[in-house]
Amino acid sequence: MAIKKRRTDRKRLENRLDFLAHHDEMTGLLNRRAGLKCLTAKWEGYNCYGNALCIAILDIDHFKQFNDTYGHHIGDEVLIELSRFLLEEVRTSDSRLGGEEFMLNLPGADNKGPLER
């Protein structure tokens, strides 16, 4: 029984480490490295096949002042809620670049019509 529990614990730890290798721990969004890897793949698709490529960088203005005024724990809650919105309402390929900066991948965005989800 103890061996089976150790295997389960080990597998759980491996899954957690795999998640952390690709995701921001606080927000659950892709981390900077994984987001840039996704962007590189999209750039290659653009170069090779002419696929549409559009990204947006989202930066929360004056966030340091917000943290200084309300505290980092409240600032973290704001980032978590914003990230939850992005995960639920936008795309799983969006990423947290760092601090209060996010990269949004906008597949299908062009000058002809609305964005795909």
- Kindly list the domain boundaries of the chain, sorted by start residue: 2-105
Per-residue model confidence (pLDDT) at position 114:
54
**Has 100 been annotated as catalytic?**
yes
Tokens of 70: 């309300």
Name the catalytic one among 44, 77, 100, 116: 100
Q: For residue 117, is pLDDT > 50?
A: no
Taking residues 61-87, report their average pLDDT.
94
Per-residue pLDDT of 9-28, as tens digits, reads 999 999 999 999 999 999 99
* Model pLDDT, residue 11: 93
For residue 8, what are its two tokens? Answer: 């389960």
pLDDT at 111 over 70: no
For the chain, what is the HEC assignment?
CHHHHHHHHHHHHHHHHHHHHHECCCCCCECHHHHHHHHHHHHHHHHHHCCCCCEEEEECCCHHHHHHHHCHHHHHHHHHHHHHHHHHHCCCCCEEEECCEEEEECCCCCCCCCCCC
At 3, the pLDDT band (50, 70, 90 cuts) reads: confident
Topology classification of domain 2-105: Alpha-Beta Plaits (3.30.70)
Residue for token digits 């389960």?
Answer: 8
- Neighbouring CB atoms inside 10 A of 46's CB total 13
